[in-house]
Structure formats: C-alpha cells, structure tokens
Structure 1
C-alpha cells in the first residue's frame, strides 16, 4: 500500500484518463486556422449566422460546434459540440453531458459512451445503436477551462465549484440564446464520476439563477453515473477484498488511512485529507474502472483521440489550432481542495425542493467509485424522504426480458445499480443505459416511473 500526495492521488483516482498514454493529448503539429468563437455573434444578435457557422457534418450527422466565451477578461472559452435529436428535435429533451476528472474531456462520453458513433482504429466511426442522440438533444461540453479543447488565455483556471458552475451556466445561457426554440424543452444534466461534484453544484446554480433571471433554464432533473460525491464514502477496499484483488492485510491498511482521512474531512482540513489519502493496491488490474477489462480493451476505449486531433476533424469541428489536452495536472491541482469537499448538501438541497428528479446509477464492476460509495452517500442524506428511501425495495430491473440491475426510489430520488457494468456504464451496457435514460427523463418529481 502506497501513501500518495494530493497530486499523484488526483492522477491515480479521480481522473478517468489515467490509463491513457500521455502522448495521446500531445499537440504535435502546427495548424493555423482559428477557433470559432460564437459569443460575438450572439451578442450582436446574429443568431442565424452563429448557427450557420457552427453547423457541421461529421460521420453523416449534422451537429454544431464552437466556443462560448464565459469570462472575457480572462479569455475563458468552453468548447461545445451539440447534436440535435434525430427525431423531433424541436420538442426532444435537452441533455448536458459532463465527464469528470477533474480534467476529463467530455469527448470520452461522445466517442465511447453515448454519442452517435464510437471510434475504432480499424474501422473509423462506427454507428452506436444505443446513442442518446436519437431522441434527445445532447450537448457535450469540455469543462472546466483547460480540459479537452476548452482553454483560458490568461491562466484563469477554476479554483472552486462556484467558478466551475458560473462558467458552465454562462455557456448554457449562450446555448439557449443560440437555439431559442429549445428553451421550452425539458432539460437534464447528465454525466459521470467527478461530475458527481459538478452536476449537483450546477443544478443548484441554475435553480438560484432561475429565481432572478429573465431567461430561465427548464431544469427538470439530474442523472449521474458512478457519482463521486463525498470522499468520506469512497471505500473500495471491501469490494476489492471480496473479489480477491487485495488481501485482508491491505484492506485493513486502507481502512486505517481512510479513518484518518475522515477525521481530517470532519475538521474541514482538506489539505490534510489529501496528504493521507491512499488508493488500495489493485494487484495487477489493468483498469480499476471495470475489473473485467483487459489491457487491449482499456487502450481501445480512447482510440478516438487520434481522430479528434486530425487536421480534417479540427476543421470540421471549428477548434482550429487549439491544443487538445486532458488538463489533468493543472485542472486537477487547481480543484484539489474541491475534490475533498462533499457535495451531499447540494443533493439534499435538490431533493428538498421537490422540484427536480435526482437520479444516480452505478456499475457494479467499478472499484474506483463502487456501488457502496454511492449508497453510503444517499443513505446518509437528510431530507423529507429519507425514511422512505431507507425502507424502499431493491427492485429488479429488466430490459428486453433480461436482468439489467436493481432500482430504489423514494420521492424524487432514484438510485440504480447496473448489472455487468463498470465506471463507464453506457460503454459496457448500452441498451440498459439508454432504457434507464428514457425512464428517468420521462419521470417527474413525485412520479418516478
């Protein structure tokens, strides 16, 4: 068992791209075309021109991409790639997808999980039969600045979730100004992993801004996969022990250090928590995000980076010369204190309003954010439906006649365990994930289907 400092910890535990070769994100050629900044057109009221400039066609699908400037004084620009629903896009729900990290590009979600295609080295773009973009308008956003194609010109990286949420909110307002026909549509925030911090905080930001803003975002709910919400609850040692990945001695070792972390967290000493936090020895596991992945499977998940860096692709998606960077070192370190701050209070707030569907799903094969970690958070929440949730039935959930997982519901809270899936649930169980999405998006507070 190795004790890690906070920098190494962020790279080992919280950043999904930990398994990528570092050269994947290198900017290894010169390209002189400029990025497409949409904000000036929107400010000038040139909405149609902004749409026309942003429109592109990749893999046979019409989509829109470009940059929203979220803080002009800093030169903060967030990259967005928007896929209108293939069916009835004018009335289809709007989804925002956020990957975690902190510092993981949402292109992971686009190319390996829920986008219209997956990318394979041997075949290029391959249609994804379980894409979320058929019946839903999906926004993929690289955030915070420094992540993926998003960037800051003056080093104004986010230092806390307040800044993160403010920048995302600015991008969303610009999006709905660019596509005013979608303002009335149902809006859900979706994502995974450290988005368990991003999403509840953003939902609260939208709730508060809606109280005073003329342009209101029609937020109906959130849906977060393998949600990293509270470090105090993240304990994979029991699961790894039961699976034979670590022995009893290492499990006890982990629990001793976790107890020290929890004391530091209770005292709000987040630096101390970072200094003593450890990761269990995974004893040769190729990928802690799914215990069944072998090395080839782990590496192939990220073949899309070759495609995304290609000059032709850059031209199509309007990113120009902007480097594509995981942002792990800078983004992760800037937000290291936020990693250790719980977002359980934001989840409680959303539940207490009774205005939003609050959904979580977790793949049972993940040892980074295991089922027990999410359950620990949800069972400790204090809200009107606490007792009902604690006594709720763990109901089998079937898709096309097959057992897909188990569901617990109470009030406006829904928790799903997905069978035979790891950290990237839509990658591992695409059909089940799509079924789950449709179930959650069609639900309303007090009427979970």
Structure 2
C-alpha cells in the first residue's frame, strides 16, 4: 500500500512549525516541544523533541571524523521522517565560502545501499582509496565539498545507519520521505534555504534521481499555488552516473555491451544472438505490460520473472573471474576498497558521529521489499523526461567498464529522453572530453542535457576519476553544459 501523502505533508508542516521554537521565530501552539543538549558517552548531542508528534532531531556537531580541514563544520545524526523512522544524515560544509556555496544531496542506489559508499569511496571529504590498509581515512582533495555544501543520506529506513520501521517498497513511495528530511534539514539549518540545490546519485539512482527531482518540483508547484505550507527547494541540477532507468532498454543493451564493449567480450556472438532472441521472445513482451510506476499489479512481477529467467539461463556463459562493477578487474580485486565499512563499525567512530545502528553497506531487507514490488522493472524515463523538460541542468554519465549498469544502456536511455531538443541531442555526435588536456571520455550536450562516457572507469565513477568528477559536478551545479578543459 502506498504512503498516505497527506500524512507526510502534515509531518513536514509540523516539522516546519516546531522549528520556530528552535530558531526563535514566532511560536504557535502546535510547535510545543523542547530543545536540549544531551551528553551520551562523553559526546554532546543536539536534540529537539516535538511533543504532539514525537518527531525528533538528534545530531552531533563537529565530530572530528572524516572532514579534518580546519574551520569546516560538519553535522551527523538523525532526522525523524515518520513514526519510528530515523533517517541518517551526514552533512559537510563547503571548504570554501560555505555561507554562499550551493547545497547538494548525494544518495546511493541499491535499493538499500548506504550513501556512506559515496561519501568514503567516491566524492566525500575523506577516503581510503589511496591506502586501503590505513587505520583512518585521508582527506580527499577532490571532494565535492570543495565546491558545495554536501548532504549524504541513508534511505530508505533500514539502509546504512538509518533505523526503525521500514515500509518503503518502491521509488515513488521513497520520495516523500526524502522530501520530508529536506524540510527538516532546512528547519534545523535555515541558512541553507533558497540556495541552489542539486541532487546527485548513481546506479538505482536512475530510478531515485528522476522521481525525487520530479517530486520536489511537484511540491514546489503546490507551495507556489498556495496548496502547501512548506519550504520551497531551489532545484537546479540532477546528476546520475551508471543509472538504471528503463528495463526495456537496458536488458537489451546489456547483451550488446556483453559482446561489443571496448575492453573484451564477456560472451561470444553466438551466445549473444541466442540471448537476444530469448530477450525478444520472453522478456520484452512481459515488460511491455509493466507500464506503471505505482500500481501494485501482477504485470511487473511477471516481467521480473520472465527477464530474470532469461538472464539466469545465460549467466553460465559469462566468465567467473571478473568484477561486475569493473570488468577490467578480477573478482578478487578490491578497488575502491571496502575499508570504510570496518571503519564505520568501530565503536569509537560510531560514538563520535552519533550513530545508533549497526552499519551495513547494503540491506537485503530493503532490496527485497523493492524486489517484491518489481520496482526495477518500471521505467522512469518518462519521469526523467519531465525533469529535463523543466529546464534544470541534467547530467547522465557512466563509466565504461561497469557491467552492472553499463554505458550502452545509459547511452540508449539518454537518447530516449523526450524534451524540446531531443532531435538535436540524438543527432549531435560525441566528442572527446578532456580534463587538463587529457582525453578521459566522450560527451555531447544539447541545451540543459549532457551525456558523458568515462573511459576505463567502473560503476563508481568518482572513485576512478575524482578530478573529472569534481569538474563535471561543478559545471552541472552552475547550470552549465559540461565542457572539456
């Protein structure tokens, strides 16, 4: 059963109301609550409790973990986004001009995978990528908080450090909770209201990104129309790398990638032809019946069964000694290293950052809820098209060594986006993309939509190409088409 949206609206409105107690704005009867500092195990937590709803904010200021650049503030802890729903966030101010820098949200995919993956392995202030055997991470000189204030969130509930009752079983269901968290964030940190806001994600973010951005824009419309009393979010950018957008396209293109990618064939042409014939006969017809992102019908479950049956029947033809997330690595390779997971399970680190749950990088329980709804079979290309049509800056990019959400599928998906410059985008040839004069990939743009293929990069592009990633992040956040340097 889908979320009762009015209840989420009510909670967000309540959060805004009780923020008036925190920040000294006029107090209404419904904002009765208390603000306190609680010391737990020698660590100070800022807490606000709202009496009528039980909603709360609980966070630690300047833990000294990860971001150690002098003068750069950080906050980590929990926002309540529903009854018994504590969503983990970790926020880092920009290293330069935080009082005027834009704000960006990073969300990992899965579904059910923690955004601490992005923080520690990809674009956060610290990393183990250079030294996987280190006890503590090193500062990342290409962290995205070099340019923007960065917010990392574990969602849905049950993901990473987030804990409580997990009722989210679909992308559409997840969106209101993320919006509610942002409302609570602006209530606690009002200095970031009205900043340019960007949403960046990867992998299952091909579902999350379009839906979350579209939901934010719907809420903004409701606010503008006087139908909703909440904080408008100034969404200016959406970026998705190695995303899962549309099963109809990407199931097909995975076969093409498997035999025609630029690194080495994973299967031979005979197997690929048989695979494609089975996709066309069994998987494609079932996918054509799965047309809704919300209805809980049997059509999408049937599509998931049909496509997985085809995929599984050909899995034995693939090599067994390669890394799915980077086919240039063996299956025993460890880049980016998973050292951060052990680090986040250290009791001293858990205490310092204010976490209250045992950390896991990905949650099978969350993934199973989405799987039972067959959410992965549902296309979010129409939703992505609406977001591009709205005029915000959109970057679709992919590392070309990833086979999980391969660049063939990403490229075919971006060429299928429907907007005013669709024909121009499809007709535009790709050109070399350079960073400091060095060719790193190929790209093309048309108006507010950009595509980028990154050479020799795996699933988590910022881990392989941190300088390039910071460059395109800055350009997209500025509302510019990406461009070589």
Q: TM-score, normalised by structure 1?
A: 0.84
1:103 aligns with 2:112: yes
Identify the residue that residue 238 of structure 1 maps to in structure 2. Answer: 256
Instruction: Please list every run of 5 or more consecutive structure 1 residues that lacks an aligned counterpart in the other structure.
Output: 1-31
Cα distance per residue 1:124-163 (max 9 Å; x no partner): 31222211111211111111111111122x4x33022222
1:160 aligns with 2:170: yes
Which residues of 2 match residues 74-113 of structure 1 at below 5 A? 75-113=84-122
1:334 aligns with 2:369: yes
The structure with the larger Rg is: 2
Cα distance per residue 1:383-433 (max 9 Å; x no partner): 221111111131211111100212211122111111221211101111111
Identify the residue that residue 185 of structure 1 maps to in structure 2. Answer: 195
Give the Cα separation in 2 of the matches to 1:141 and 1:442.
22
Structure 1 residue 436 displacement after superposition = 1.2
1:306 corresponds, among 342, 362, 366, to 342
CA contact (8 A) 2:201 2:239 kept: yes
CA contact (8 A) 1:229 1:343 kept: yes
Identify the residue that residue 249 of structure 1 maps to in structure 2. Answer: 270
Identify the residue that residue 263 of structure 1 maps to in structure 2. Answer: 285
Give the Cα separation in 2 of the matches to 1:398 and 1:305.
33
Alpha carbons of structure 1 residues 301 and 267: separation in structure 2 relative to 1, 3 Å: same
Structure 1 residue 250 displacement after superposition = 2.7
CA contact (8 A) 2:58 2:79 kept: no
1:136 corresponds, among 141, 145, 148, to 148
CA contact (8 A) 1:206 1:217 kept: yes
Alpha carbons of structure 1 residues 50 and 343: separation in structure 2 relative to 1, 3 Å: closer
Q: How many residues are paired up?
A: 406
Q: Which has the higher contact order (CA 8 A, sep 6+)?
A: 1
1:357 aligns with 2:357: no
Alpha carbons of structure 1 residues 382 and 43: separation in structure 2 relative to 1, 3 Å: farther
1:387 aligns with 2:423: yes
Which residues of 2 match residues 287-302 of structure 1 at below 5 A? 287-298=323-334, 301-302=337-338
Cα distance per residue 1:53-106 (max 9 Å; x no partner): 44422142541101111112xx11110011111100111121111111111111
What's the Cα RMSD here? 2.5
Structure 1 residue 244 displacement after superposition = 2.4
Structure 1 residue 248 displacement after superposition = 2.4
Alpha carbons of structure 1 residues 193 and 33: separation in structure 2 relative to 1, 3 Å: farther
Identify the residue that residue 18 of structure 1 maps to in structure 2. Answer: none
